[in-house]
Amino acid sequence: MRIAAAACAAALVVGGCGGAKTTTGLSLSPCTIGPTGAIHAQCGDLSVPENPFYAKGKHIPIHVAVVRRTEPKATGLPIFDFAGWGGAGVEDDAWLSGAFANLNVSHDIVFVDQRGTGRSNPLSCAIPETDAATITRATKECVERIGPDLKYYTSAIAVDDVDRVRAALGYDKIDLYGASYGVTTEQFYLLRHGVHVHRAVLDSGSLLPVHIFENGPRNAQRALDMLFAQCAADAACTDAFGNVKAQYATLAARVARKPVPLPEVGAELGPETLAAAVDALLPFDKPQLPRFIHLLATGKATAAAAIVKPYLPAPSARQLAYMLVIQCSEPWAMRRPAVAQRLAAGTFYEPLAHMEIASTAAMCKAMIHGYEPAAAGMRAHSTVPVLFLQGNEDPADPPSAVAHARRELPNSRVVVFPYSGHGQIGYACAQFLATRFFEGDGLQKLDTTCASSAALAPFDTRR
């Protein structure tokens, strides 16, 4: 992150400009954020106790970036972003200031690196994907290295940090936006600090009682079945590729017998890699998936690898420690082995699920149990207006994950994007709906007709 050269005279700055300090100790300085450093903001670190129950102990920085509203005299409430799983809000979500460009005229946009990520005391563990004993031993070593306060790197404490940031910036009421895991932390914030919430947009997430990772394989299979049916009903898709569902079944059986080398992605295409590739393409590049399967089925592995390579993470044994703590502590993120095996049975994801279930169990044997308030797995009851944006084809958080939202969030509305996967805010329709909602339109008055065609894209039928 580079210090911005642009002056901040046009911004309404809490406590002033150019490194001024708020009354609670948060210094803000001009900076640029985002992957290319093109977004002008004000950044700073708020010092918070690592152990929130011992204020005199070690303190850690919580890194904050505020993209100020472009109209200083405007009175829109600030919008706080809640980052996704494994993301650092300031760097990974800075692009949202562009998606919220219309809102940014009258609303500050606030990004926070969750504790343990980005510049907020990042912590990671080197956990190799090997045998159970090695995983357990590596986890034990990591816990001993970081220390007992690792237990406070959980969702509840993370949203308490966000509320400290809110207070330090001098805000009372705020609006919330979050996607994926950000929907989970938004609900934690509603549970613990709901008095400060004006409105909230929850994009592609699940209600707190839903066990997301346990349900993942079944949800992903549902999305894949929908894709197979759509290709079969699409003349261009069937003319180009034939029966993709049958080809996939044959391919899965073949690589189970003998993996196919894929040097382009640094792996062999076995059952686990095939499942990971399909799971990576489903939410983010569905139009390419029939072509990917057909290329593999017809022996064109190099061309297939070029499609999936951008979506497969580079091999790494290091994982963010907070994610490991949460998976071993918070009900929504846990994998109960018997339940997880049952829900994965018969799905394309089953080979990968077996590996994940075993490695998670081995890791949790040695992982410290995180701070978990009694409400961690409970419903977030609130009368705050809430807008849910869900993709019908989401392989992780389908509409069923929020089907009963009005039981605990009576002033809520679910908008389903029929042709979309995971994450809606990249679509102009979702940006329009969020803008109208945050600007004050009533939930039932929102014109959601644009969602019916958003994300509708033809299959890539190149051979």
Q: What percent of the chain has pLDDT over 90?
A: 83
Place of tokens 């977004």: 39
Q: Are 325 and 249 in contact (CB under 8 A)?
A: no
Band (268; pLDDT cuts 50, 70, 90)? confident
Average pLDDT, the chain: 92
Q: What is the pLDDT of residue 35?
A: 83
The yes-or-no verdict on residue 152 having pLDDT over 90 is yes
pTM score, whole prediction: 0.92
Q: Residue 463 — very low, low, confident or very high, per pLDDT cuts 50/70/90?
A: confident
- Give the span between the Cα atoms of 278 and 386, in whole angstroms: 32
As a whole number, mean pLDDT of residues 88-95 equals 91
Residue 287 scores a pLDDT above 90: yes
For 356, the enclosing helix (H) or strand (E) is: helix 350-364
CA angle 453–277–204, rounded 5-degree value: 40
Given a cut of 60, whether residue 2 has pLDDT beyond it is: no
What pLDDT is attached to residue 25? 77
Report the pLDDT averaged over residues 206-220: 97
What angle (nearest 5°) sits at the alpha carbon of residue 180, between those of residues 199 and 49?
75
Place of tokens 């990004």: 111
Query: What pLDDT, on a 0 to 100 scale, did the predictor assign at position 378?
Result: 78
Q: Calculate mean pLDDT across residues 86-91.
A: 93
Phi-psi region of 346 (alpha: psi -120 to 50; beta: other; left: phi over 0): left
Average pLDDT over residues 260-278: 87
* Residues whose CB falls within 8 Å of the CB of residue 77, separated by 6 or more in sequence, listed in order: 107, 171, 173, 174, 175, 198, 438
Residue 159 identity (one-letter amino acid): V
- Can you give the pLDDT at residue 211? 96
> Residue 5 above 50 pLDDT?
no
- Tell me, what's the pLDDT at 3? 32
Please state the rounded mean pLDDT for residues 378-398.
Answer: 95
What percent helix, strand, coil does the chain show, rounded to 5? 45, 15, 40
Examine the pLDDT at 176 and tell me if it is beyond 60. yes
- Mean pLDDT to the nearest integer, 45-74: 96
Classify 265 as helix, strand or coil: helix
Is 267 a residue whose pLDDT tops 80?
no
Answer whether residue 13 shows pLDDT above 70: no
**DSSP per-residue letters across 76-93:** PPPEEEE--TT--HHHHS
Q: What is the pLDDT of residues 312-347, one digit of tens each?
A: 776 666 899 999 999 999 999 999 999 999 999 999
- pLDDT over threshold 90, residue 418: yes
Q: Which domains does the chain have, with CATH numbers?
A: 1-121+153-209+378-463 (3.40.50.1820), 212-311 (no CATH)
Is it the case that residue 23 has pLDDT exceeding 60? Answer: no
Judged by average pLDDT, the poorest of 86-95, 192-201, 248-257 is 86-95
Q: Is the pLDDT of residue 12 over 50?
A: no
pLDDT, position 314: 67
Band of pLDDT at residue 50, cut at 50, 70 and 90: very high
Could you give the dihedral angle defined by the CA atoms of residues 34, 39, 44 and 49, in that order, rounded to the nearest 10 degrees? -40
Say if residue 140's pLDDT is above 70.
yes
For 221-238, what is the mean pLDDT? 97
What is the predicted pLDDT for the residue at 52? 97
Q: How far apart are CA 228 and CA 113, in angstroms?
A: 39
CB 292 within 8 Å of CB 265: no
The answer to whether residue 9 scores a pLDDT higher than 70 is no
Query: Beta-strand (E) ranges in 378-419?
Result: 386-391, 412-417
What number of residues does the chain have? 463
Question: If you average pLDDT over residues 244-249, what whole number do you get?
Answer: 98
Residue 157 has pLDDT above 50, yes or no: yes
